[in-house]
Homo-oligomer: A and B are copies of this chain.
Amino acid sequence: MPESITLGKSELRKDARGKVTGAAEYVADIKLDNVLYGAAARSGIHHGRILSIDTAVAQAAPGVVRVLTAADIPGEPNFGALVQDQPALAGTLVRHFGEPLALVVATSKAAAYQAAKLVQVKYEPIDPLFDPIAALQPDASILHGTGNLISRYEIRDGDIGKGFADAEVILEDTFSVPLISPAYMETENSLARWNDNGTLTVWVSSQHPFTDQLEIAATLGLPPENVHVKSAVIGGAFGGKEDASLAILTSFAAWAVKGTVKLVNTRQESFWAHPKRHPVHFQFKLGAKKDGTFVALKAVAHMDTGAFASLGPAVGVIVTETLGGSYRIPNVDLETLVVYTNSPLAGAMRGFGSPQSHFAIESMVDMMAAELGLDPIEVRRRNILREGDRMFTGVVVNNTANSLPVSLDHAQEARKKFAAIPPSSGKVAGVGMALAMQSMGLGAKVPDNSTQRLKWQPDGSILIHLGAPDMGQGLTMAAEQIAAEAMELPYELVNTIGLDTSSSPNGNVTCASRMTYMVGNTLVDAAKQLKTQMLEQAARLLNRPQESLSYSRGHVITAEGGKIAVKEIISRAADDGIILQSEATFSFPYPEETTPQHLPIGMPHVLFCFGAQVARVEVDPELGTVAVTHLTAIHDVGRTISKIGVEGQIEGGAAMGLGYALFENMDLKEDGRWVDSFTEYLLPTSKDVPAFHENIILEIPEESGPFGAKGVGEVTVPATAPAIANAICNAIGVRIKSLPITHEKLV
């Protein structure tokens, strides 16, 4: 491999200074003239029929410009990424606490929020459902006309009856994981301006501005081209910003008052009304031979998707596909039920179903090892997927699986090292590990294209028109590094222009651990085109045969070895009205011949990332407190684009996994209120993350990826919680089957 220009280095993110100094413009920071403020009147109950909404008093309140209800919506009343089941404003039924019922537009934020309290809503309350199993009972009240079961996925492979008959040991257990908030720093917000020419400009903090554009247009009955969506700086998303509700409400308000309106959710509103990670209840039955070989798995997952579908059905796909973890299990019977309840809506969140399944399967694997008296790493080694293995979806796993045995070797070494460390006084130490599998991409049969544009600038630098938003994770940096590498230019000479649906190519939604992969592929392709364009122009302008010219590191090289700086060519081409720019589209590959076709839409996924994490914990056996002192994270990234970016993803993902393991729980409190502030929703702090954190980054090139790269954004999360749970069991012998592992469960 020739020495790279920028790949694998830790470049400085170009947005770093702005974010650190506060100069970065998030939506809430954008100052426009004559801005009005919106506030939603939100339901204080979980479930009920709306008998009436009286806005008269609110309308008359000081500073109020307009109070809107569902009746004022000119277009489609409902929206939704997969199912149009979510009212922009509830009109007939309240399905969850905090659901927006009316929208106040006022001259100040305080006036808007105060007037929202003056909207008079009459309900007929209905007993709320918070349990997906109860919500499937025949007498349960129905949230949506289609019934409470929104999706059911079943995968049967091999012969489950024979599998269990062959099993020498069978373990059965149940596991549960709680409702999790993405807890990004920037709450949801949006700003919309109605323009005199009948168009709307909307600034969003969103993972999918092009979807927002369509959903806004549908709600307002406008042609999509009249809606311009601009991506502002995003302060974290983790999946929670694959939701158009704020963009729709703000646009609706701006349209209604023919003005400019800003909405910024309070933290409480963010907790109540934006997508969360699904709580799931699992029933597992795993059969193995005495040597540890898995022979059969039966699993049922009940997912509480809350009041609206959001991306719940798609999450159900990944839950199902990851129920068996990174293992080859010949006989499976897997079932996932995605169920409407009156919980807050659950949708996309980092890991997208995989963290849930992994807590169950990776705990089961350790339990099976214990039952058999075998080393849990050894048991994993006997069962991991190998290159060429047929997964239960029918997908044949590629060379990516070669990272698994290597990861186990590293894990074994880390475990040995950790096990030798004596515990602190009064504490009991333990070491545990878990594997993680995360698919990339949206799944078969889901349209998944991404387009980017590259442009030579007059100064010889490159401008990327990125078609997908950087949600804070560093997509821009990765794109710039890939483009720089592909264009043989230093990183500093590549810049990115923010997404605007009226001028940017459609890069599709930022999600599913596939942005470096997809955007990178488009940029490699576009760069190739751009270099060709350069040589064409150089040939024309220098009047030489194109074959006699070559491109190298910002220069056109003549046959004689002469070097002409590209900006000369760019400038002369510009004089002739020629702009050098290229666009490339990449479609996520699901080759028909190798992609099983019998499964429902969104299934199967065909490309995977694997990883392993090893945790050392110290448990205070009297208090039940747990400190994760050491963590080794082993992840295959195909090829490192940004070293600091990959490290950040791993460390951030593991911290999120640690919060999942020990602290986070958006619980329903005794007073019937969801946990809705960071006083009760406990995120891990810098004090909680392990003092020793080691990243072992593997690079097994993904053939279809840019420079061999694949995703690392999500696979860093699922192993952490089961590794910690396994370490706790190793320390004190207590097997935890529900997250979070609060100290009450350990004493």
**CB within 8 Å of B: which residues of A?**
39, 43-46, 48, 57, 60-62, 109-115, 117-118, 120-125, 127, 266-267, 668, 670-673, 677-679
Contact = CB atoms under 8 A, between A and B. Distances in A.
Contacts of A266: 671, 673
B672 A113 contact: yes
B125 A61 contact: yes
A197 to B, nearest CB: 32
B671 A110 contact: yes
Contacts of A43: 117
B45 A670 contact: no
A309 B46 CA distance: 37
B679 A110 contact: no
A123 B118 contact: yes
Contacts of A673: 113, 266
Pairs of residues from A and B, 3 with the lowest C-beta to C-beta distance, nearest first: A110-B672, A44-B117, A113-B671
A57 B125 CA distance: 8
Contacts of A46: 114
A507 B36 CA distance: 57
Contacts of A122: 57, 120
Contacts of A127: 62
Contacts of A60: 125
15 contacts: A39-B671, A44-B117, A45-B114, A45-B117, A45-B118, A57-B123, A57-B125, A62-B127, A110-B672, A112-B671, A115-B125, A118-B123, A120-B120, A120-B121, A678-B679
Given A118-B125, A123-B57, A679-B677, A109 B44 contact: no
Contacts of A109: 670-672
Contacts of A114: 44-46, 125, 672
A181 to B, nearest CB: 13
Nearest to A681: B679
A118 B43 CA distance: 10
Contacts of A44: 114, 117
Nearest to A673: B113
A539 B354 CA distance: 85
A459 B492 CA distance: 87
A110 B114 CA distance: 25
Nearest to A47: B114
A102 to B, nearest CB: 13
Contacts of A62: 125, 127
Nearest to A116: B44
A100 to B, nearest CB: 15
Identify the interface centre among A267, A678, A679: most chain B CB within 10 Å of its CB. A679
Contacts of A267: 679
A110 B670 contact: yes
Contacts of A672: 109-111, 113-114
A267 B122 CA distance: 27
A475 to B, nearest CB: 30
Contacts of A677: 677-679
Nearest to A111: B672
Contacts of A117: 43-45
Contacts of A39: 671
A3 to B, nearest CB: 39
A19 to B, nearest CB: 16
A485 B214 CA distance: 81
Contacts of A113: 671-673
Nearest to A117: B44
Identify the interface centre among A266, A267, A671: most chain B CB within 10 Å of its CB. A671
Contacts of A45: 114, 117-118
Contacts of A57: 122-125
A42 to B, nearest CB: 10
A67 to B, nearest CB: 13
A53 B60 CA distance: 19
A266 B673 CA distance: 10
Contacts of A671: 39, 109-110, 112-113, 266
A358 to B, nearest CB: 30
A122 B58 CA distance: 10
A722 B677 CA distance: 32
A61 B126 CA distance: 8
Contacts of A120: 120-122
A114 B342 CA distance: 13
A261 to B, nearest CB: 15
A113 B46 CA distance: 11
Contacts of A668: 110
Nearest to A678: B679
Contacts of A110: 668, 670-672
A187 to B, nearest CB: 11
Contacts of A115: 125
A123 B60 CA distance: 11
A127 B671 CA distance: 31
Nearest to A44: B117
A62 B672 CA distance: 13
A42 B27 CA distance: 33
A57 B113 CA distance: 24
A131 to B, nearest CB: 14
A621 B693 CA distance: 32
